[in-house]
């Protein structure tokens, strides 16, 4: 897996300055960086800042988040397959929204080869204090870049005084209390700390303010085919903090997978005519805690099977479902743990599942799960 850092921040805040220093640091550690630069306008002036031995692709004339996704995808694929590197640094334009940028970077075609290590937002200290002078939409975007960052780099601190800086830091904490905030001049920061920490936040640093990561992504590999109705039910059940899902899903009825897209409540299905890996990329806040399609399917059947058991609705991981069904199979409350009792309980649950009023696909899915748990338990000493 290759590490990816997204460098975000307003025009002129110091992203290129940060990029150049980040490259220097990575090289000093024997790591090979590659760069994707997105610039507005047809000429890539900033790319001159990157030395010739670093693989570089430029996304010119348009912002990463609104230029055609295929074009960006092609650039990333090109760098991925033609160049050798360990860390990919992506400098976005000041006009890019972090969610939209992540969206184009994490194509389901190659998302399994990248690990998003951090969204670094560079802030021009002086300009931030003058943010109220910006047009409303520009200011809103500015604040979004701050809100979604894993690390906030307050740059150009030489241009503000101590009081202004304190006010600025206070406001930034209000806007994003999960990001680490680093003060800098000419984007000189401790890259060692930045890169050694989880998701670009220095968890070992005592002064760290944040607790929980915000915007992030997750890659779910799909082991089964899934009926369309179930996928639709799953996405409708998700919290608003899931902004985007995209990837390939195999329907039980078709030869090849469908390209599936979800954003802000809307879904789209497009048939593919080739075999592709069935996996989904999810982008959103606290995305690790969102139940997968697999968990959702099993959980909704479990809710039918045991109506009124409140804890089931809270399950978000497969492990929780496994623990629950293991306890049921072993019938810990009333029966001694013997193989005979385990078999009897399995049959009982199977019968109940077959009598449920739900799709045969979902029943099959659950029966597979149940039989896996039965095998697991029967190999243990009971």
Binding stretches for ligand GTP (CB under 6 A): 9, 11-17, 46, 94, 155-156, 158-159, 185-187
Determine the Cα–Cα distance for residues 210 and 213; give it in Å rounded to an integer: 8
The least distance separating ligand GTP from the CB of residue 17, rounded to whole angstroms, comes to 3
Pair type for strands 151-155 and 279-285:
unpaired
The least distance separating ligand GTP from the CB of residue 202, rounded to whole angstroms, comes to 20
The least distance separating ligand GTP from the CB of residue 318, rounded to whole angstroms, comes to 43
The least distance separating ligand GTP from the CB of residue 65, rounded to whole angstroms, comes to 15
Contacts of 305 (CB under 8 A, 6+ apart): 349, 352, 353, 356
To 10 degrees, the CA torsion angle through 15, 17, 19, 20?
170
Query: Which of residues 100 and 330 has its CB atom nearest to ligand GTP in the complex?
Result: 100
The least distance separating ligand GTP from the CB of residue 121, rounded to whole angstroms, comes to 11
Query: Which of residues 4 and 187 has its CB atom nearest to ligand GTP in the complex?
Result: 187
Strand partners, 268: 261
Query: Which of residues 155 and 300 has its CB atom nearest to ligand GTP in the complex?
Result: 155
Report CA-CA distances (Å) from 309 to 232, 351, 369: 24, 19, 20
Pair type for strands 114-124 and 2-9:
parallel
The least distance separating ligand GTP from the CB of residue 79, rounded to whole angstroms, comes to 20
Query: Which of residues 188 and 323 has its CB atom nearest to ligand GTP in the complex?
Result: 188
Structure tokens, 93: 């334009």
What's the N-to-C CA distance of the chain in angstroms?
A: 41
Query: Which of residues 38 and 201 has its CB atom nearest to ligand GTP in the complex?
Result: 38
Query: Which of residues 158 and 190 has its CB atom nearest to ligand GTP in the complex?
Result: 158
Determine the Cα–Cα distance for residues 337 and 223; give it in Å rounded to an integer: 31
The least distance separating ligand GTP from the CB of residue 25, rounded to whole angstroms, comes to 16
Query: Which of residues 48 and 314 has its CB atom nearest to ligand GTP in the complex?
Result: 48
The least distance separating ligand GTP from the CB of residue 156, rounded to whole angstroms, comes to 4
Report CA-CA distances (Å) from 60 to 46, 63, 211, 348, 369: 11, 8, 37, 63, 49
3-state secondary structure labels for all residues of 74-134: HHHHHHHHHCCCCEEEEECCCCCCHHHHHHHHCCCCCHHHEEEEEEEEEEEHHHHHCHHHC
Say if CB 288 and CB 258 are below 8 A apart.
no
Query: Which of residues 66 and 313 has its CB atom nearest to ligand GTP in the complex?
Result: 66
Query: Which of residues 62 and 247 has its CB atom nearest to ligand GTP in the complex?
Result: 62
Say if CB 321 and CB 370 are below 8 A apart.
no
The least distance separating ligand GTP from the CB of residue 10, rounded to whole angstroms, comes to 7
Contacts of 32 (CB under 8 A, 6+ apart): 26, 84, 85, 86, 87
């Amino acid at each position: 897996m290759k590490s990816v850092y997204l460098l975000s921040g307003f025009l002129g805040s110091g992203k290129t300055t940060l990029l150049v220093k980040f490259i220097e640091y990575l090289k000093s550690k024997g790591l090979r960086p590659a760069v994707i630069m997105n610039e507005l306008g047809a000429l890539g002036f900033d790319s001159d800042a990157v030395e010739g031995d670093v693989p570089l692709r430029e996304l010119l004339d348009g912002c990463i988040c609104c230029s055609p996704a295929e074009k960006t995808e092609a650039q990333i694929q090109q760098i991925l397959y033609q160049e050798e590197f360990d860390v990919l640094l992506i400098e976005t334009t000041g006009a890019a929204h972090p969610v939209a940028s992540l969206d184009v970077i994490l194509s389901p075609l190659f998302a399994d080869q990248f690990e998003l290590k951090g969204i670094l937002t560079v802030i021009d200290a002086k300009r931030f204090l003058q943010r109220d002078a910006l047009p409303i939409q520009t200011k809103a975007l500015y604040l979004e870049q701050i809100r979604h960052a894993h690390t906030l780099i307050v740059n150009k601190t030489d241009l503000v005084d101590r009081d202004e800086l304190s006010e600025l830091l206070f406001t930034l904490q209000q806007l994003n209390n999960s990001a680490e905030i680093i003060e800098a001049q000419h984007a000189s920061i401790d890259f060692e700390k930045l890169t050694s920490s989880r998701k670009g936040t220095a968890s070992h640093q005592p002064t760290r303010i944040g607790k929980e990561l915000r915007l992030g992504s997750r890659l779910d590999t799909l082991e089964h085919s899934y009926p369309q109705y179930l996928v639709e039910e799953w996405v409708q059940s998700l919290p608003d903090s899931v902004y985007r899902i995209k990837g390939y899903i195999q329907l039980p009825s078709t030869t090849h997978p469908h390209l599936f897209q979800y954003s802000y409540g809307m879904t789209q299905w497009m048939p593919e005519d080739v075999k592709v890996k069935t996996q989904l990329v999810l982008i959103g806040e606290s995305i690790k805690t969102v139940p997968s399609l697999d968990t959702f399917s099993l959980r909704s059947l479990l809710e039918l099977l045991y109506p009124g058991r409140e804890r089931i609705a809270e399950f978000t991981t497969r492990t929780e479902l496994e623990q629950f069904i293991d306890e049921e199979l072993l019938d810990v409350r009333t029966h001694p743990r013997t193989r005979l009792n385990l078999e009897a309980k399995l049959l009982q649950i199977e019968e109940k599942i077959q009598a449920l009023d739900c799709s045969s696909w979902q029943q099959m899915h659950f029966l597979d799960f149940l039989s896996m748990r039965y095998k697991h338990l029967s190999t243990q000493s009971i």
